């Protein structure tokens, strides 16, 4: 097992990782930018080292500095958290060159899943369902027209290097295709330095259903069921739950096996998430695999009783999985709210500033993962999530009631947050009846403000 882990991240996820390390008896090194001086993760770690100024490029994305700190502190592994360098292939290489274990998948697995066209091709050849499409890059607008005619409109033009919803355009019909093609390419070029796009059939009104997987270095892969993350705005998730209200036991088995198949197709190691879109008929299609621990992992932990970060660290150290698929049991219902410092009344605009006071909810089956406290400053440089409130109930109804109670109990003064919006959502009969798709906030968000 590792003796010391450097956590190359900030905020709640850095705190989350440090906590598990403490429970495993592993020493920790926190790193922080000048804007994060005094942050919670720096207080909890055994050592804390400043790595630069506020902007990500000058600190949490500075590979050279991170490696230097890891060497100076004699850390034998680096945990990347999510975001920042967690899916950066170059960083995985640099860690290996310096004989530091990167807690995550191999260069090969990460690069295959990082290129959407290659990922699709790879999982498809392993029997994982994918949306019908161009099967590779579409170089010209004439090719785009031909593919779109074959598969039928509406179609989605997507950047192979895409991420965060960027480089993606919908064409409802033929006369929108040229524009969608050009726009997707130019946005992809600007955002990722690679204009290549492919085309796939547009799925109408889908749910976002994703499966948590865990793989060791010995070829064993298991899944921990699904999460439903259909409540999103601008492709950013706002509420997640496990299990999904639209996934039956039979479907769970099928989608779980597909997720395991996707992981196996790249000889995956570590924790990962296989994302699917599910249409109204219960058909599901592979979207992408996220090769990191995800923000919403706690809802899975709540219903499976598994510390996923602990498992992630164990397998990175070369240990075998502790579970066969049959050993994994799920019980109850878990919901997570991402509490963001954003103003729902003002188009969810970020509201950085000082948290004057923060009262954390508690009680039976309530968990709060956060990196802030009363008096903490939310810097403008990073994402706006300040806390995750996670609850578990015996049933979905109980979980919803408990979440409402927990959010009512939470007070954050000094900055606007998404809590009032989320409270409205839990009161909405459509949410309560699970009658929604990924466009719910886009279409009905105004009614909830
Ligand atoms: P990114 O890596 O940018 O997040 P994804 O491929 O995961 O891109 O797609 C992001 C979101 O875009 C999906 O969750 C879904 O909402 C929408 N989307 C992507 N492809 C399709 C499709 N073929 N049909 C309908 N919606 C899609």
pLDDT band at 311 (very low <50, low <70, confident <90, very high): very high
Q: Is the CB of 164 under 6 A from ligand 1?
A: yes
**162 CB under 6 A from ligand 1?**
yes
Q: Is 424 left (phi over 0), alpha (psi -120 to 50) or beta?
A: alpha
* CA–CA distance, 439 with 205 (Å, rounded to integer): 7
- Rounded to the nearest angstrom, the distance between the alpha carbon of 232 and the centre of ligand 1 is 12
Ligand 1 centroid distance, CA of 236 (Å): 11
- Average pLDDT for residues 157-174, to the nearest whole number? 93
Tell me the pLDDT tens digit for each residue of 196-214: 999 999 999 999 999 999 9
Averaged confidence pLDDT in the chain: 97
CA-to-CA distance for 157 and 147, rounded, in angstroms?
11
- The answer on pLDDT for 165 being more than 90 is no
ipTM of the complex: 0.96
Regarding the beta carbon of 442 and ligand 1, being less than 6 Å apart is answered no
Confidence of residue 167 (pLDDT cuts 50, 70, 90): very high
3-state secondary structure the chain: CCCEEEECCCHHHHHHHHHHHHHHCCEEEEEEEHHHCCCHHHHHCCEEEEEECCCHHHCCCCHHHHHHHHHHCCCCEEECCCCCCCCCHHHHHHHHHCCCEECCCCHHHHHHHHCHHHHHHHHHCCCCCECCECCCCCCCHHHHHHHHHHHCCCEEEEEEEEECCEEEEEECCHHHHHHHHHHHHHHHHHHHCCCCEEEEECCCCCEEEEEEEEECCCCCEEEEEEEEEEEEECCEEEEEEECCCCCCHHHHHHHHHHHHHHHHHCCCCEEEEEEEEECCCCCEEEEEEECCCCCCHHHHHHHHCCCHHHHHHHHHCCCCCCCCHHHCCCCCEEEEEEEECEEHHHCCEECCEECCEEECCCCCCEEEEECCCCCCEECCCCCCEEEEEEEEECCHHHHHHHHHHHHHHCEEECCCCCHHHHHHHHHCHHHHCCCCCCCHHHHHHHHHC
Which tens digits make up the pLDDT trace of 249-294?
999 999 999 999 999 999 999 999 999 999 999 999 999 999 999 9
> Is 364:401 a contact under the CB 8 Å cutoff?
no
CA atoms within a 13 Å half-sphere pointing along the CA-CB vector of 154: 11
Atom of ligand 1 nearest to the CA of 200: 23
Residue nearest (by alpha carbon) to ligand 1 atom 2: 163
User: Which of 113, 227, 277, 440 gets mutated to test ligand 1 (max ligand atoms within 8 A of its CB)?
Assistant: 277
Q: How many CB atoms lie within 10 A of CB 334?
A: 28
Distance CA 292, CA 162 (A): 17
Find the angle CA(159)-CA(162)-CA(167) to the nearest 5 degrees: 60
377 Cα–ligand 1 center, Å = 33
Query: Tokens standing for 104?
Result: 């995550």
Per-residue pLDDT of 7-52, as tens digits, reads 999 999 999 999 999 999 999 999 999 999 999 999 999 999 999 9
Q: Would you say how long the chain is, in residues?
A: 449
Between the CA atoms of 8, 39, 339 and 405, what dihedral angle is there, to the nearest 10 degrees?
120
pLDDT beyond 90 at 245: yes
Q: Which residue among 133, 287, 288 is best mutated to probe the pocket of ligand 1, counting the most ligand atoms within 8 A of its Cβ?
A: 287
Q: Which one is catalytic: 16, 233, 292, 338? A: 292
Find the Cα–Cα–Cα–Cα dihedral 424, 429, 435, 438, rounded to 10°: -10
Q: Is the pLDDT of residue 430 over 90?
A: yes
Q: Which two tokens stand for residue 404?
A: 């409402």
Q: Which atom of ligand 1 is nearest to the CA of 164?
A: 3
Q: Which of 78, 87, 101 is nearest to 31 (CA)?
A: 78
According to DSSP, the β-strands at 342-343 and 349-350 are antiparallel
Out of 120, 129, 165, give the residue to mutate to test ligand 1, the one with the largest number of ligand atoms within 8 Å of its CB: 165
pLDDT at site 353: 94
Q: Ligand 1, closest atom to CA 133?
A: 23
Answer for the pair 411, 404: CB distance below 8 angstroms, yes or no.
no
Give the residue-averaged pLDDT of 339-358: 95
Given a cut of 90, is residue 235 above it in pLDDT? no
State if residue 200 touches ligand 1 by the CB under 6 angstroms criterion. Answer: yes
Crossing angle between the packed helical segments 116-124 and 107-114, to the nearest 10 degrees? 100
Per-residue pLDDT at 237 exceeds 90: yes
Q: Between β-strands 270-278 and 207-215, what pairing exists: parallel, antiparallel or unpaired?
A: antiparallel
The pLDDT confidence band at residue 164, using thresholds 50, 70 and 90, is: confident
Dihedral of CA 280/286/287/290: which sign? positive
pLDDT of residue 372: 96
From the CA of 310, how far away is ligand 1's center (Å)? 30
- Whether 163 has a pLDDT exceeding 90, the answer reads no
Rounded CA separation 360/375 (Å): 14
292 flagged as catalytic? yes
């Amino acid at each position: 097992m590792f003796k010391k882990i450097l956590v190359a991240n900030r905020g709640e996820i850095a705190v989350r990782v440090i906590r598990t390390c403490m429970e495993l008896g592993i020493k920790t090194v926190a790193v922080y930018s000048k804007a994060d001086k005094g942050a919670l993760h720096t207080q909890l770690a055994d050592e804390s080292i400043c790595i630069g100024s506020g902007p990500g490029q000058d600190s949490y994305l500075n590979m050279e500095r991170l490696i230097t700190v890891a060497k100076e502190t004699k850390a034998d592994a680096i945990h990347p958290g999510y975001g920042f360098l967690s899916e950066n292939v170059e960083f995985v290489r640099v860690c290996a060159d310096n004989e530091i274990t990167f807690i995550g998948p191999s260069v090969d697995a990460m690069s295959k899943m990082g290129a959407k066209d290659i990922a699709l091709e790879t999982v498809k050849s392993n029997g994982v369902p994918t949306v019908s499409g161009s099967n590779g890059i579409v170089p010209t607008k004439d090719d785009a027209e031909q593919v779109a005619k074959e598969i039928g409109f509406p179609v989605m033009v997507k950047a192979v290097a895409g991420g965060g919803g960027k480089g993606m355009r919908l064409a409802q019909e033929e006369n929108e295709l040229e524009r969608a093609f050009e726009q997707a390419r130019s946005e992809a070029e600007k955002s990722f330095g690679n204009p290549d796009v492919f085309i796939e059939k547009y799925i109408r009104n889908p749910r976002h259903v994703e499966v948590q997987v865990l793989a060791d270095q010995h070829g064993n892969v298991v899944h921990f069921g699904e999460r439903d993350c259909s409540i999103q705005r601008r492709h950013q998730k706002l509420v997640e739950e496990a299990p999904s209200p639209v996934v039956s036991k039979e479907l769970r088995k099928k989608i779980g096996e597909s997720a395991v198949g996707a992981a196996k197709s790249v000889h995956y190691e570590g924790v990962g998430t296989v994302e699917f879109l599910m249409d109204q008929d219960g058909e599901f299609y592979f979207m992408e695999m996220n090769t990191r621990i995800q923000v919403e992992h706690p809802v899975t932990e709540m219903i499976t009783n598994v510390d996923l970060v602990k498992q992630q660290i164990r397998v990175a150290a070369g240990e075998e999985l502790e579970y066969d698929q049959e050993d994994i049991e799920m019980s109850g219902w878990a919901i997570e709210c991402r509490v963001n410092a954003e103003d729902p009344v003002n188009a969810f605009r970020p509201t950085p500033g000082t948290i004057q006071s923060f009262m954390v909810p508690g009680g039976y089956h309530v968990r709060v993962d956060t990196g802030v406290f009363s008096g903490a400053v939310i810097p403008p440089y990073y994402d706006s999530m300040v806390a995750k409130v996670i609850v578990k109930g015996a049933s979905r109804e109980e979980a919803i009631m408990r979440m409402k109670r927990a959010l009512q109990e939470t007070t954050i003064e000094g900055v606007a947050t998404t809590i009032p919006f989320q409270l409205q959502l839990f009161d909405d009969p459509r949410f309560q009846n699970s009658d929604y798709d990924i466009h719910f906030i886009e279409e009905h968000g105004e009614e909830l403000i």
